[in-house]
Amino acid sequence: MKVLLLKDAKDDDSGQDPYIQELGLYGLEATLIPVLSFEFLSLPSLSEKLSHPEGFGGLIFTSPRAVEAVKLCLEKDNKTEDWEKSLKNRWNAKSVYVVGSATASLVNKIGLDAEGAHSGNAEKLAEYICSRPSSELPLLFPCGTIKGDTLPKMLKDKGIPMESMHVYQTIPHPGIQGNLESYYESQGVPASITFFSPSGLKYSLEYIQALSGGSFDQIKFVAIGPSTTRAMAAKGLPVSCTAESPTPQALAAGLRQVLQPSNCC
């Protein structure tokens, strides 16, 4: 059964995207189509803040792109040596909070110890942060320009200081239309389509509606995370399932139930 995932491919140690690998175990033929591109912002300012961990109570990462921004700072400003010698250890003496295993893995690769990875979305991470001892110093939160308000609001309500910093912006992937047209021409209408973000939904839905035609209502639409579910509902799109966490295993479990006759999750 053919399913479409609107995300870019990420190879794991086996050389295959973990979502394709996991869904394949259940007989689902998954295709990945990227719908988002990213532009990095304010890297000199971020680099300066990373050089002064003493001014912050810790770090928050809710997306892989924010971690990539940190990595770019280290590479561009020749900070790698300083990072390895002392900076990463000084940050590790504080809390480094993350959402999801993919972000946690990238955080680990730059030498930081992540906590909170089990939280599948920003709201659950905020709950976790609020349950931990807090510092009088602000948590540094590198994020995108369209970050949600849930986490900042929950921390503010609990009196936990935080400094947000926009380090990337999301733009449509230049190949969305062409890649979707090619998919529909060769594969036909998929049994299910999974959206991974509100932005991905925004930039791709119009093309999907046009290409699916009269078969649009037969597609099972799935969301990764509650913010995407809310965005789909706002567009009037029926949500067959929301994955319990942003992992291949959770998506596979959801799709199995959604695509079984007379079942849903």
187 and 164 in a common domain: no
Where is the domain boundary, 171, 188, 210? 171
Please report the pLDDT score of residue 11 as a whole number: 62
Residue type, 95: S
Where is the domain boundary, 137, 171, 205? 171
Residues 26, 48: Cα–Cα separation, whole Å: 47
**Total-model pTM:** 0.74
Residues 93, 76: Cα–Cα separation, whole Å: 25
Where is the domain boundary, 171, 202, 221? 171
249 and 134 in a common domain: no
Query: Quick check: is 87 in a domain?
Result: yes
- Count of domains observed in the chain: 2
91 and 47 in a common domain: yes
243 and 180 in a common domain: yes
Sites in the chain below the pLDDT cut of 70: 11-15, 261-265
Q: CATH number of the domain that 110 lies in?
A: 3.40.50.10090
Please report the pLDDT score of residue 33 as a whole number: 97
128 and 27 in a common domain: no
Query: Quick check: is 265 in a domain?
Result: no
108 and 15 in a common domain: no
Query: Quick check: is 151 in a domain?
Result: yes
164 and 97 in a common domain: yes
Task: Show the domain range for 100.
Answer: 39-171
Please report the pLDDT score of residue 116 as a whole number: 94
13 and 130 in a common domain: no
49 and 158 in a common domain: yes
Please report the pLDDT score of residue 265 as a whole number: 47
64 and 7 in a common domain: no
18 and 83 in a common domain: no
Query: Quick check: is 264 in a domain?
Result: no
